[in-house]
Chain A
């Protein structure tokens, strides 16, 4: 089949679904139609992406499948293009995005089974919009289209976080996510402006190298990094991600764990030629990523809300990816992105299944669910082990590669942060597993029941991928700068050992023999210090003290100076008009005198005036 047609089908089928559902209201109101249209469209995308991606497996130098149409004609030349561009970098991401999206959409059919039909229809319409935006972002042939879709996924995120729109907290969370990421997106916009001014285009392949100095690289990469920090929830702009958990759990799995938040990391991967020339920004990335990995993992230990644990875990894992990309090579961070997408989506879907059963997010309301929900528990444990980097599972390989790259690049402090975070990751995941699935059952878990097959099947697929993706995806995302292939290093084994020790510590601390108790003593003080609240408060302080004052000053200037000038001009016109209107007497004789007078003046001018 024509490859170009496949590439176009990847983005156009969800676009068609989104347009049809958003425009034709009766279809959207019927959840069955809305869900089938969306799932069908995503299936088309997945099959197309798979067919294309198989060609690139182990063959990274294959010519990209691409098609571009001119867009934005500006002063005789084309300012930008839109189109599709599938190469060794975008192909695996397309598969990951469409696969996870499909799993989540199928899962949502069961998860939202009790919602009104109208709401469910709207939900799937948003999902179609998201699928189109995200795939359009990944398949973009230049950074301008990527930026456009970047904003569209932000919109989809806003709509889906606010899905329970009658809940005030959901509305606030949606707004906060939008506000924080929009603030960060200014960096992307400014970065693109600098890029356009310097190179006259929006391409990530910066050629020839001479047109762009190192300082330009630093500026552009730094500004792009700002957007990444917002979208991929890096410190200190991570504050929106835990709040975004107000959305339905499948949304958290797809947008806020597997794909959308990874868009930031993908942006770095995609525009790596720009980042490669910016050594300072790369170092910042390594430190920032390592710091976020450790910080978020620490906070995750103290969360009692199962989704918040996973949210901070996502921040932490995204920190790993950013740190890996800061070490100067592509493949480790990208590899971790793909494996993380599978096991974190699995964990969120598992958490959703539990929440579906006990109707609470709180870990203290769970407990002993192993007996009631064996499949969910088993798959959740697989996800946890993969995340903790248990040997031979997917997280083991990708995390190992990241640490190796950091060591290789000589970033010792970020490396230490990541190793520590790896231990904490194993610890907090063990805590969640112990509190949710083992121990004494709570009142809510007595009535718990296993979720329907439509929810378990997508989880099973993701569980299988979490088990084997580490072995398979390595070749799948093998990029030009090399993937050493299947190998085990001393560093990797050490980290795994730390992880297993942490799992042991977690079992000892939260195990079945002890009723899950909050961490007390010094740990509580520590929790207060590192928790999200201080960061939120700092932002609030900045918002109330600085931003409000600046706004007030700007408002005063606008009200009294700018408006004053405008009003003055208006007043002058009024006064002049009051005088001038007297000229219109309404008397025909006066007009005739004016005409004759004018005639005389004109004649005199014609006879005596100059030439």
Chain B
């Protein structure tokens, strides 16, 4: 039986990886993947605490988050397609017309 701290460490590592990805990638798809990583780190936390305290609330929330992330990815991909049509590129720093 793996203890709770170990699982939380994995989750924290995954989250940090996601943050690093978000900060370093310019590719929009890469950004999306990094965001997914952070979301899954949260899911691991939810499930781990659910197992630790007993009860299903955490698992239900994890399922809920997964469903929500799917929707988010769908919207994100749609935006990326539009971005590509407009700029012939998926690098986000190409699209900076909204500067003040």
In the assembled complex, the Cα of A585 lies from the Cα of B19 at a distance in Å of: 21
Shortest Cβ gap from A41 to chain B (Å): 68
Q: Which A residues, 574 to 601, have Cβ-Cβ distances below 8 Å to chain B?
A: 580-589, 592-593, 596
Instruction: Point out the residues of chain B lying under 8 angstroms from A586, CB to CB.
Output: 95-100
Pick from B92, B99, B100: contact of A589, CB under 8 Å: B92
Q: Which B residues, 63 to 87, have Cβ-Cβ distances below 8 Å to chain A?
A: none
In the assembled complex, the Cα of A572 lies from the Cα of B36 at a distance in Å of: 43
Contact B100 A581, beta carbon cutoff 8 Å = yes
Shortest Cβ gap from A516 to chain B (Å): 88
Contact A585 B22, beta carbon cutoff 8 Å = no
For B19, the closest partner residue in chain A by CB is A596
For A579, the closest partner residue in chain B by CB is B100
Contact B100 A583, beta carbon cutoff 8 Å = yes
For A584, the closest partner residue in chain B by CB is B100
Chain A interface residue count, Cβ-Cβ cutoff 8 angstroms: 13
In the assembled complex, the Cα of A584 lies from the Cα of B98 at a distance in Å of: 7
In the assembled complex, the Cα of A592 lies from the Cα of B32 at a distance in Å of: 12
Contact B23 A585, beta carbon cutoff 8 Å = no
Contact A589 B19, beta carbon cutoff 8 Å = no
Contact A582 B26, beta carbon cutoff 8 Å = no
Shortest Cβ gap from B33 to chain A (Å): 14
For A593, the closest partner residue in chain B by CB is B23
Chain B interface residue count, Cβ-Cβ cutoff 8 angstroms: 13
Shortest Cβ gap from A585 to chain B (Å): 5
Given contacts A592-B23, A596-B19, A596-B23, contact A585 B92 (CB under 8 A): no
In the assembled complex, the Cα of A596 lies from the Cα of B22 at a distance in Å of: 9
Instruction: Point out the residues of chain A lying under 8 angstroms from B93, CB to CB.
Output: 587-589
For B20, the closest partner residue in chain A by CB is A596
Shortest Cβ gap from A601 to chain B (Å): 14
Instruction: Point out the residues of chain B lying under 8 angstroms from A588, CB to CB.
Output: 31, 92-93, 95
Total of A-B residue pairs, C-beta within 8 Å: 35
Shortest Cβ gap from B68 to chain A (Å): 18
Contact B96 A587, beta carbon cutoff 8 Å = yes
Shortest Cβ gap from B83 to chain A (Å): 10
Q: Which B residues, 18 to 45, have Cβ-Cβ distances below 8 Å to chain A?
A: 19, 22-23, 26, 31
Contact B100 A582, beta carbon cutoff 8 Å = yes
Instruction: Point out the residues of chain B lying under 8 angstroms from A585, CB to CB.
Output: 96, 99-100
In the assembled complex, the Cα of A512 lies from the Cα of B19 at a distance in Å of: 117
In the assembled complex, the Cα of A437 lies from the Cα of B23 at a distance in Å of: 108
Shortest Cβ gap from B31 to chain A (Å): 8
Q: Which A residues, 314 to 332, have Cβ-Cβ distances below 8 Å to chain B?
A: none
Given contacts A589-B92, A589-B93, contact A584 B99 (CB under 8 A): yes
In the assembled complex, the Cα of A596 lies from the Cα of B16 at a distance in Å of: 11
Instruction: Point out the residues of chain A lying under 8 angstroms from B23, CB to CB.
Output: 589, 592-593, 596
Pick from A587, A592, A593, A596: contact of B99, CB under 8 Å: A587
For A599, the closest partner residue in chain B by CB is B19
In the assembled complex, the Cα of A581 lies from the Cα of B100 at a distance in Å of: 5
In the assembled complex, the Cα of A587 lies from the Cα of B99 at a distance in Å of: 7
In the assembled complex, the Cα of A587 lies from the Cα of B95 at a distance in Å of: 7
Shortest Cβ gap from A495 to chain B (Å): 90
Q: In this complex, which of B26, B96, B97 has the most chain A Cβ atoms within 10 angstroms of its Cβ?
A: B96
Instruction: Point out the residues of chain A lying under 8 angstroms from B95, CB to CB.
Output: 586, 588
In the assembled complex, the Cα of A588 lies from the Cα of B31 at a distance in Å of: 10
Pick from A580, A589, A596: contact of B26, CB under 8 Å: A589
Instruction: Point out the residues of chain B lying under 8 angstroms from A582, CB to CB.
Output: 100
Shortest Cβ gap from A441 to chain B (Å): 91
Instruction: Point out the residues of chain A lying under 8 angstroms from B97, CB to CB.
Output: 586
For B24, the closest partner residue in chain A by CB is A589
Shortest Cβ gap from A575 to chain B (Å): 15
In the assembled complex, the Cα of A581 lies from the Cα of B98 at a distance in Å of: 11
Instruction: Point out the residues of chain B lying under 8 angstroms from A587, CB to CB.
Output: 92-93, 96, 99
In the assembled complex, the Cα of A588 lies from the Cα of B100 at a distance in Å of: 13
- Mark interface residues in B41-69 (1 if CB within 8 Å of A CB, else 0): 00000000000000000000000000000
- Mark interface residues in A97-111 (1 if CB within 8 Å of B CB, else 0): 000000000000000
Instruction: Point out the residues of chain B lying under 8 angstroms from A592, CB to CB.
Output: 22-23, 31
For B35, the closest partner residue in chain A by CB is A592
Instruction: Point out the residues of chain A lying under 8 angstroms from B92, CB to CB.
Output: 587-589
Shortest Cβ gap from A594 to chain B (Å): 11
In the assembled complex, the Cα of A588 lies from the Cα of B24 at a distance in Å of: 11
In the assembled complex, the Cα of A585 lies from the Cα of B92 at a distance in Å of: 12
In the assembled complex, the Cα of A601 lies from the Cα of B75 at a distance in Å of: 29
Shortest Cβ gap from A34 to chain B (Å): 65
In the assembled complex, the Cα of A589 lies from the Cα of B92 at a distance in Å of: 8
Instruction: Point out the residues of chain B lying under 8 angstroms from A581, CB to CB.
Output: 100
Q: Which A residues, 543 to 602, have Cβ-Cβ distances below 8 Å to chain B?
A: 580-589, 592-593, 596
In the assembled complex, the Cα of A582 lies from the Cα of B98 at a distance in Å of: 11
Q: In this complex, which of A581, A587, A588 has the most chain B Cβ atoms within 10 angstroms of its Cβ?
A: A588
Contacts A/B (CB < 8 Å), 9 sampled: A581-B100, A584-B99, A588-B93, A589-B23, A589-B26, A589-B92, A592-B23, A596-B19, A596-B22
Q: What are the 10 closest A-B residue pairs judged by CB atoms, nearest first?
A: A581-B100, A586-B99, A584-B100, A586-B98, A586-B96, A588-B92, A587-B96, A585-B99, A592-B22, A587-B93
Q: Which residues of B contact A (CB under 8 A)?
A: 19, 22-23, 26, 31, 92-93, 95-100
Contacts A588-B92, A592-B31 supplied; 17 other A-B pairs, CB < 8 Å: A581-B100, A583-B100, A584-B98, A585-B96, A586-B96, A586-B97, A586-B98, A586-B99, A587-B92, A587-B99, A588-B95, A589-B23, A589-B26, A592-B22, A593-B23, A596-B22, A596-B23
